[in-house]
């Protein structure tokens, strides 16, 4: 796990490669994992999922913003997404990253941007999920959640199982709607589990705790072993289906998504859209390298014999060979 995970995380953080991916991503097959680059394209994708009995959470891609205008533009875009959800009566809510709204620029600046978003969503009874990022943004993101919770109840967040403090965090926020994930950033050994087995064990532990004690649990995984474990657990403990949902990423394990929805489970697809897809996708591969195989099966181009994994890797290595990206 170690080398592969570190490799994809390194790629996700490279600005040169990110810039190149924005220009060439769709040609490399990114359309299979990103639901368009515009709001109309995203709405079409969401509507198609809704027709199949699947709800969605929409992510306007972008993060680690350091310019005020960029953060304001992101806020405006998310407000337009909220309006589109309402206008088209979509079964959808919003996932957002505080850094996209200016957390690295200023806490109060970010708080004001988030307040405007949460207030508008609240007026339409739309849920807003605060995606968690790397450890340096963990507590500030919790602080934003705490502050906005004083006035609004349509918000929740993410608990990352690889953090040692995750157990304490999930207990503190048990009265919130929470998405539970394994974690997809590179964190040091003094903060987070490094071993896959330990992360998996803590992940199951957190899921079970929140299913028994929490408000609503979003179980974000493509791992059918985890899914089968949860199915048995909720049956044994008589946990009603309206207390939880399974979540997967757009473009991954489509058949299993439909299967779970068809079995009567609440199912939510994480739908990213926009041109800033690269860092998001690389972290999905870092989190679970098997995801590359899941996508590869769905992006094979018979005419060009191109796989997203092969094409992306070749592109990345080509750029690396031309530029000293470590400067």
Total number of domains constituting the chain: 2
Give residue 304's pLDDT: 39
If asked whether residues 42 and 25 sit together in one domain, one would say no
User: Of the candidates 110, 161, 172, which has an alpha carbon nearest to the alpha carbon of residue 137?
Assistant: 110
CA–CA–CA angle 266, 35, 135 (5° rounding): 75
pLDDT of residue 251: 86
Which DSSP state fits 299? S
Residue at 271 is within a domain: yes
* Predicted TM-score (pTM) of this structure: 0.83
Distance in angstroms (rounded) separating the CA atoms of residues 220 and 265: 14
User: Is the domain of 321 the same as that of 230?
Assistant: no
pLDDT digits (tens, 9 = 90+) for 16-72: 566 655 666 555 556 678 898 899 999 999 999 999 999 999 999 987 789 999 999
Q: 179, 253, 283, 288: which one is catalytic?
A: 179
pLDDT at 325: 36
198 lies in the same domain as 236: yes
Residues of the chain with pLDDT under 50: 299-327
pLDDT at 311: 45
Grouping H, G, I as helix, E, B as strand and the rest as coil, residue 298 is coil
Residues 67 and 162 in one domain: yes
- The question of whether 179 is a catalytic residue gets the answer yes
In a domain, 294, yes or no: yes
CATH number of the domain where residue 250 is located = 3.20.20.220
Which residues are bridge partners to 267 per DSSP? 246
Q: What pLDDT digit, counting tens, does each position of 177-217 carry?
A: 999 999 988 899 999 999 999 999 999 999 999 999 999 99
Same domain, 107 and 151: yes
> What pLDDT does 54 receive?
98
Domain of 72, in residue numbers: 34-276
Tokens of 307: 């796989």
Q: Is 242 a catalytic residue?
A: no
List the catalytic residue out of 5, 59, 104, 131.
131
Whether residue 268 is contained in a domain is answered as: yes
| 247 domain residue, yes or no | yes
How far, in Å, CA of 115 to CA of 125, rounded? 15
Q: What are the start-end ranges of the H helices in 88-218?
A: 107-123, 138-148, 166-172, 196-213
- Three-class SS of residue 241? helix
Domain-embedded: residue 281? no
Claim to verify: residue 202 and residue 295 sit in the same structural domain: no
Q: Please, what is the end-to-end C-alpha distance for the chain in angstroms? A: 27
């Amino acid at each position: 796990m170690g080398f592969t995970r570190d490799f994809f995380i390194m790629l996700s953080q490279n600005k040169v490669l990110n810039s190149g991916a924005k220009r060439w991503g769709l040609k490399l097959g990114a359309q299979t994992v990103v639901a368009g680059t515009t709001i109309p394209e995203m709405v079409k994708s969401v509507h198609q999922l809704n027709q199949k009995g699947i709800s969605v959470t929409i992510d306007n891609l972008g993060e680690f913003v350091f310019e005020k205008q960029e953060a304001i533009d992101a806020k405006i875009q998310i407000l337009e997404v909220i309006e589109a959800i309402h206008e088209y009566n979509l079964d959808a809510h919003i996932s957002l990253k505080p850094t996209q709204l200016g957390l690295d620029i200023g806490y109060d600046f970010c708080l004001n941007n988030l307040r405007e978003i949460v207030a508008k969503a609240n007026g339409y009874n739309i849920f807003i999920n605060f995606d968690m990022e790397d450890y340096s943004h963990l507590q500030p993101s919790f602080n934003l959640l705490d502050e906005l919770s004083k006035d609004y109840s349509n918000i929740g967040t993410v608990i990352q199982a690889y953090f040692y403090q995750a157990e304490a965090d999930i207990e503190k926020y048990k009265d919130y709607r929470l998405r539970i994930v394994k974690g997809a950033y590179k964190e040091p050994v003094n903060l987070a589990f490094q071993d896959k087995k330990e992360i998996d064990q803590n992940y199951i532990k957190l899921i079970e705790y929140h299913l028994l004690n929490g408000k609503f649990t979003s179980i974000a995984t493509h791992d059918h072993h985890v899914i089968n474990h949860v199915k048995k657990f909720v049956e044994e403990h008589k946990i009603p289906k309206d207390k939880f949902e399974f979540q997967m990423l757009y473009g991954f394990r489509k058949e299993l998504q439909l299967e779970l929805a068809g079995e009567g489970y609440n199912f939510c697809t994480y739908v990213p859209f926009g041109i800033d897809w690269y860092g998001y996708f690389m972290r999905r591969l870092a989190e679970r390298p098997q995801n590359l195989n899941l996508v590869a099966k769905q992006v094979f181009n018979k005419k060009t014999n191109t796989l997203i994994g092969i094409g992306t890797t070749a592109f990345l290595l080509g750029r690396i060979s031309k530029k000293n990206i470590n400067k």
